[in-house]
Structure 1
Amino acid sequence: MKPLFGLQAKFLALVAISLALVAAALGVLLLRQNATQGEILAQSGNEIHQMVSGSLRSRGESTVSQAADSLVNPVYYFDLDAIGRTARALLQQPNVRYVIVYDGDGNVLHDGSVDIPTFGQPMRDPLAYEARAADGVHVQQTDDVLEVSAPLRLGQERIGGLRVGYSLAGLRAAEASSSKRLGERLSEINSRHVAFMGGILGLLLLLAAIVGLMVQRLLIAPVRSLALAAQDIERGNYDTSIADSGRNDEIGELMRSFRRMGTAIARHDRDTRRMAYTDPLTGLANRLAFREMLDAGLTTMRGSGRQLALLFADIDDFKRVNDTLGHDAGDEALVAFAERIRVVVREQSGEAAQVARLGGDEFVVMVQFESGDAREAAARLGARVVAEIGRPIAMQGRDVFLGTSIGITVFPDDAADSTTLMKNADIAMYQAKVAGKNCYRFYNRTMEQAVARRMRLEQDLHGAWGRGELGLVYQPVYDLADRRLVGAEALLRWRHPEHGDVAPTVFVDVAEQRGLIEEIGGEVLRQAIQDAAQWLPLSPGAPPFVSVNVSPWQLRNSTLTELVAGALKTSTLPPEFLHLELTETAVIGDEPRARGVLASLRELGVRVWLDDFGTGFSGLSHLRRMAVDGVKIDRSFIADVLDDPDDLALATAIIAMAHSLGMTVVAEGVEQEGQYALLRERGCDLAQGFWLGHPVAAAEFAALLRRQGNIGP
């Protein structure tokens, strides 16, 4: 509703009355102006100077303090790009003459320029000493510059500082100009109205009182009420109440609108907080909410004698669900896992525990203990979560089996702050994965050393093939009937420049965990095919085959067939002389997908072998469904074949079963003549092992072929 007599009308009426009174009072007031002109000029000059200087000082302290906070991480990580962006942003501000970012030794890191001509040089200007010595925001001034500086700290460590110099020349010019204009104006007024100043002073004071009372009632009081409400909102109190003044003018409408706005902000804040602190997929607390809960819990527990345990859970091989069933199925699995964890935690620990999803397939549980053995209770909870997650989940008409690796750390035994506790739990979880997954591990200090060594190994493994550290050796494979050399298995070796030979069981696992196995596996495949192609002329009657191991990660990659086809296309090796070895457990882990990949490989003419047969609990039914050409009996069964009747019976059964399906059988780990003779007697086709030949370089294997065929070099 439009006001009948609004604020504008009231203001115009007030101005008209005021002008009439002022017109009468000016004559009296101007009589006094001449006597007070000098004092007004002097006082105004001082006020202008203090206002401008104080404003510059306050603005500089605020700007430098905020900029120093934003520079801590870039200076700590020596991120010159980020430092330069901040420095250049400061230089663009009004009256800024220079910006200097320096390190803990007082050497210049950045001055906001493109080429940084003073980079690395020590600061030697007169203001440098006080800037470096100050413990906080520090202001110092020369005739031309007002400098504001602040140290950069990471925790208690001082890692550098920031200096910003503001030019005073422009400020002085502005002060002088303002004072000059004020003096000229006063002189003009004095010369024109000096005769009228004295007589109206009393009327002007009365007018000021009347105007002040009206402004106080009509404007200042309601505006102050709105300002107090705004301050409450700024402090986060969005439910502040604003009384309805009942006024039917602009101020009344403004107060009603402000009250509606406060209500809307409060509602929006509740919705925003719920979105900001909740994982949208599972409904659990998210990383931000959990970190705040953890910090609050640690604050209340310090010195109380109570304990707190963190359980960091990561779903094992969860990527396989997304890769094989799709991301929608992965989200469905995450929701199911989250509910299982929530139910187990509620049953085991009740309201003393909080569950959150940190992101991806990572969950964390925080449990507070008033008394008792926190480690024992955390171990029971960890075991229950492992067991619950290990139960199959039905998805798309099939049961999916996944496990979880859990790392556990305890406050205050392992750490006293949230950051270290989270790091410790992550380290312990990593050790649980190294231990075989689907288990839990408690943090201990020796784990950090193991993680550091593994991280160094991961770093060194990047580019190891290109540096010539990774290479292939070939273990000869012989026909048991006539002990004729018929092929070789390509084995990857890493000769580290510092640590020497690194065991394949160590670095292959690192490569698989960090996603390097596909790159390295591709290089191995291409090199093995290239070497085998060079052996073809050395055995014209029966060229040797080369067998290459394929990682489960490569088997799950849809580009394996294209990789093999491309490697064969660039060589002269016929496809039938390339054998690919896949572990039994990798094939069984995703049998439908594996069958399709094996079929496409065999269509290329490549032979497929099932490696480590007998260790994956597969049987005849699996072999019949798999398009494989042969099996390799695991060395664990060959080792005791002469002494253990059970191993001999098992090896004999594998040979008979494979032959019944038309498959070739290779025995691994033949290290004694008796093993060789016994396997030949039982009808095993091929064998490899140290008794027959150690792994050798490609050139040495070629020499073996020449000797067998009596072919000269």
Structure 2
Amino acid sequence: MRLPSGLQAMFLGLVSAALLIGLGAVALVLQQQDQAQKQILALSQRSMHALASQRLLLRGEAVSAQVADALVNPLYYFDLEAIGAAVGNVLRQPDVSYVIVYDADGNIVHDGSRDIERYGQRMDDAFALEVLAATGQHMQSDDQLLDVSMPILIGDQRLGGVRIGYSLATAKQDEDAMVATMQARLDQIARRHLLSVGLLLFVLVALGGLVAALLQRRLVRPVRKLADAAQRIEAGHYDVVVPADARQDEIGDLVRAFDRMRDSIARHDRDIRRMAYTDPLTGLANRLALRETLDQRLLEMQGAAGRLALLFADVDDFKRVNDTLGHDAGDAALVQFTARIDAAVHEFDVADALLARFGGDEFVVLLQLPGSSDADLRSVAGGLATRLVEEVARPIEVEGRRVFLGISIGITVFPDDAASAAMLLKNGDIAMYQAKLAGKNCHRFYSLAIDQAVERRMHMEHELRGAWDRGELSLAYQPVFRMTDKALVGIEALLRWQHPEFGNVAPPVFIDVAEQSGLIDVIGPQVLHAACVEAHAWQQRFPAATELFVAVNVSPRQLRSEAFATEVEAALRESGLSPRHLHLELTETAVIGNEARIGQLLGALRALGVKIWLDDFGTGFSGLSHLRRVPVDGVKIDRSFVADVLRDPDDLALTTAIISMAHSIGITVVAEGVEKEGQFEVLRERGCDLGQGFWLGHPLPAREFDALLG
């Protein structure tokens, strides 16, 4: 015969050994049982509420930080479509009640609705005041909502912020359901216990004391242990050991269920932390993990002699991969670059080195050498940077194509360069920017001089925005003459900047700023249009200018633009200038690396009648090959050869060879920088077609050029 198991079997066994039990002892046991059940239920409810709130808060902090990063550029350029897309993605997430993007004054920019019904309204809800006053991520809540806000910054400038409201209703329903389940389970246990005690009231009076002691040991103690474990889990100690119990009764079931619940909560916590601190594409630490690690290490080094180097790396021209091969190929390329960078970092075997993806194609490496000197740390950081440049420069295979890219790295050192994490990251970014200005695919250490240079350049970039509309940018026109009879045949449009603070800014300086910042995409079409309008006006007003052509310089960035051909056609159409009177000048460096596409573009423009000139000819590395692969109508001999043509036989021979070679394939030759009569005579004798320079004519504003034509 099989003996019954569980509490009933325990009670029956106690009855056979018991003599007498008192009603008072039974009542005491029942009271202790009821109190224990209430305590475990209350503690479990508080624990589950705290865990649910913590999970929702971690999710809100991670999502708000990611959305704030993603909204920097859209909010800066006031791109409501991009803002709406980002807001829509968040609104589709579970438990999200609202998403509000606001500007620095607290006015609503986007609220997620299709028509942005609250656009421009000031936030006036109960949370708004603290949101506007907060300088960092901020959380507020009431009985219904959890509001998480994050400011949107560009540098130190606050553009505004984003607020995400999470409904607590779902969490409350889940909590109530779990509490109800546990309550039902405890009620079931209580009912069974009550039945057992009822039976004992009749037969176990003599053994009351023994039964009470056994109940305390077999029931109350495990419940109290579970309550203690619940309190530790509530405090975030998920590694708490739940008291093991091999009993095959309800208490054993409860203990094992509680253990499984503990494991599930711990697993979800690990998943949330992994999502919050790990980059999903590369598996590296993300920006949040980097900031926390950097803050912790700087805190540990306060007052100590420790040193830390931060390498801020950016893959050069990575946008070209996404634009030409697609974002999936770009992701695949990033994964390969990550593997190379990680291997190079491990190759240096620096303890506690951290590699993180800062965002997009930017990576950060933290190097810490306890007890090292500044020279040692800089030597290791410089060596690692050199190694990274070598590794990334090697070609990679993406979708069957070889991709060549480089990496620019900025290095900054704690505590020499900065004392805070934010300043270290800023200085690393500044040094990386200098590496890009130095030609890319290299590294630079941060210095105060670099910082000041970047500040000046950023100020110049800021002032250059809108300079054309303010009338600070203008065109000067340098005449181009035919060498045989010194007849005026054309003009070259040259951009000038007269700034109220900087004065006359040298063209190479501000044009480089325009190139690097992308402002050339705006200024270039304006220059082209203005030059075409002015040239056509001169043709209409002066009989001697009916065949006058205008030459306009084209930057490499403009050539890479898909809209360039359309811009040229629009300038010709709106100005009325004949295409054969427009000459576009480009440098050899603008062609290198993409001859096929640029050759096709220039071929289309030549089909319209536009002339193509290769500027600074002779200074590149493959001029002859370009003349074969890129359709051009003429070349301009670089002024460095013309300057020494009278005293340097090599320059004279090279100039003569260029003229002969160009004429042999039917290409016109222009000499620039003609500043002496002797230079003019020598070039004319060698058969040079056209010339320009100070000896022939200085660049003139449009009004002064009228006199030359008249």
Paired residues for 1:460-539 under 5 Å: 460-537=463-540, 538-539=542-543
Q: 2:668 aligned with 1:664, yes or no?
A: yes
Aligned mate of 1:374, from 365, 372, 377:
377
Name the CA distance, whole Å, in 2 between partners of 1:250 and 1:563: 80
What is the distance in 1 between the residues matched to 2:578 and 2:130? 67
Give the drift of 1:381.
2.2
Q: Does 1:89 align with 2:122?
A: no
2:580 corresponds to: 576
CA distance in 2, matches of 1:398, 1:671: 49
Decide which of 683, 702, 706 is 2:706's aligned counterpart: 702
1:418 equivalent in structure 2? 421
Deviates more, 1:381-390 or 1:393-402: 393-402
Preserved contact between residue 486 and residue 542 of structure 1 (Cα < 8 Å): no
* Number of the residue aligned with 2:315: 315
Q: Which amino acid aligns with 2:669?
A: V
Q: Indicate conservation of the 8 Å contact 2:106/2:132, yes or no.
A: no
Q: Which amino acid aligns with 2:377?
A: A
Change (3 A) 1:393 1:639: farther
Q: Distance in 2 between matches of 1:308 and 1:607?
A: 56
The residue identity in structure 2 corresponding to 1:273 is: R
Distance 1:219 1:661, change over 3 A: farther
**Is contact 1:349–1:367 with CA below 8 Å preserved after alignment?**
no
2:535 touches 2:549 (CA, 8 Å); kept in 1?
yes
CA distance in 2, matches of 1:102, 1:612: 55
Q: Counterparts in 2 of 1:345-424, with a 5 A limit? A: 345-370=345-370, 371-372=372-373, 373-395=376-398, 399-424=402-427
Q: Deviations over 1:244-283 (max 9, x none)?
A: 6678887765554332222122223333333333323333
Residues 337 and 389 in structure 1, CA contact (< 8 A), matched pair in contact too: yes
Residue 607 (structure 1) aligns with: 611
Partner AA of 2:295 in structure 1: D
Matched, 1:280 2:283: no
3-state DSSP of counterpart to 2:126: helix
Q: String of CA shifts for 1:99-132, please: whole Å, max 9, x gaps.
A: 899999xxxxxxxxxxxxxxxxxxxxxxxxxxxx
Larger Rg: 1
Partner amino acid for 1:88?
D
1:587 Cα deviation from its structure 2 partner: 0.6
Q: Show the counterpart of 2:264.
A: 264
1:140-195: per-residue Cα shift (whole Å, max 9, x none)? xxxxxxxxxxxxxxxxxxxxxxxxxxxxxxxxxxxxxxxxxxxxxxxxxxxxxxxx
For 2:249 and 2:708, how far apart are their aligned partners in 1? Answer: 105
- Is residue 635–residue 668 contact of structure 1 (8 Å, CA) maintained in 2? yes
How much does 1:484 deviate? Answer: 1.0
Q: How does 1:672-711 map to 2 (within 5 A)?
A: 672-706=676-710
Pair 1:629-2:633 in alignment: yes
Counting aligned pairs with the same residue, the percent is 61
Partner SS state of residue 567, structure 1: helix
What amino acid maps onto 2:126 in structure 1? A
Aligned to 1:543: 547
SS for the counterpart of 1:386 is: helix
What amino acid maps onto 1:79 in structure 2?
D
Distance in 1, Cα, partners of 2:511 & 2:219: 77
Correspondence 1:204-223 to 2 at 5 A: none
State the alpha-carbon separation in 1 of the partners of residues 393 and 592 from structure 2: 17
Q: How far apart, CA to CA, are the structure 2 residues paired with 1:673 and 1:601?
A: 36
Alignment CA distance shift 1:101-1:614 (3 Å): closer
* 1:459 Cα deviation after fit: 1.4
Shift of 1:502: 1.4
- Cα distance, 1:584 vs. partner? 0.6
State the distance in 2 between where 1:474 and 1:528 align.
9
**What is the Cα deviation at residue 605 of structure 1?**
1.8
Q: CA deviation at 1:85?
A: 7.1
Q: Quote how far apart the aligned CAs of 1:358 are.
A: 0.9
Match of 1:79 in 2: 105
Unmatched 5+ residue regions in structure 1? 6-16, 22-69, 92-98, 105-209, 707-713
User: Whole-Å Cα distance in 1 between the matches of residues 568 and 467 of structure 2?
Assistant: 22
Structure 2 CA distance, aligned partners of 1:78 and 1:258?
48
Q: 1:378 to 1:667 in 2, by over 3 A?
A: same
Change (3 A) 1:396 1:556: farther
Partner residue in 2 for 1:330:
330
- Structure 1 CA distance, aligned partners of 2:7 and 2:544? 111
Query: Which residue is 1:109 aligned to?
Result: none
Counterpart AA for 1:569: R
Query: Are the counterparts in 1 of residues 106 and 123 from structure 2 also a CA contact under 8 Å?
Result: no
Gap change, CA 1:383 and 1:102, over 3 Å in 2: closer
Aligned length: 537
Quick one: structure 1 residues 395 and 596, their matched pair in 2 at CA, closer, same or farther if it must change by over 3 Å?
A: farther
TM-score (norm 1): 0.68
Equivalents in 1 of 2:571, 2:392: separation in Å? Answer: 41
Q: Does residue 442 of structure 1 match 2:479?
A: no
- Measured at CA, do residues 231 and 658 of structure 1 come closer, stay the same or move farther in structure 2, by a change above 3 Å? farther
Letter in 1 for 2:235: R
State the match for 1:163 in structure 2.
none
How many Å separate the matches in 1 of 2:131 and 2:242?
Answer: 47
TM-score, length basis structure 2: 0.68
Q: Give ranges in structure 2 of 5+ residues lacking alignment.
A: 1-5, 9-22, 28-63, 69-99, 110-120, 135-208
Query: Counterpart of 1:601 in structure 2: which amino acid?
Result: L
Give the residue type in structure 2 aligned to 1:675.
Q
Q: Distance in 2 between matches of 1:347 and 1:665?
A: 54
**Which whole-Å CA distance do the structure 2 matches of 1:233 and 1:515 have between them?**
54
Query: The residue matched to 1:282 in structure 2 has which SS?
Result: coil
SS of the equivalent of 1:491 reads strand
Tell whether the 8 Å contact from 2:602 to 2:612 is kept in structure 1 after alignment: yes
SS in 2 for 1:512: helix
2:668 and 2:689 in contact (8 A); partners too: yes
Residues in 2 aligned to 1:231 and 1:334: alpha-carbon distance in whole angstroms? 45
Within-5 A mapping of 1:96-135: none
Mapped partners of 2:130, 2:312: distance in 1: 43
Counterpart Cα distance in 1 of 2:530 and 2:331: 40
- Per the TM alignment, residue 622 of structure 1 is displaced from its structure 2 partner at its CA by 2.2
* CA RMSD, Structure 1 to Structure 2 (Å): 3.9
1:620–1:657 contact (8 Å) kept in structure 2: no
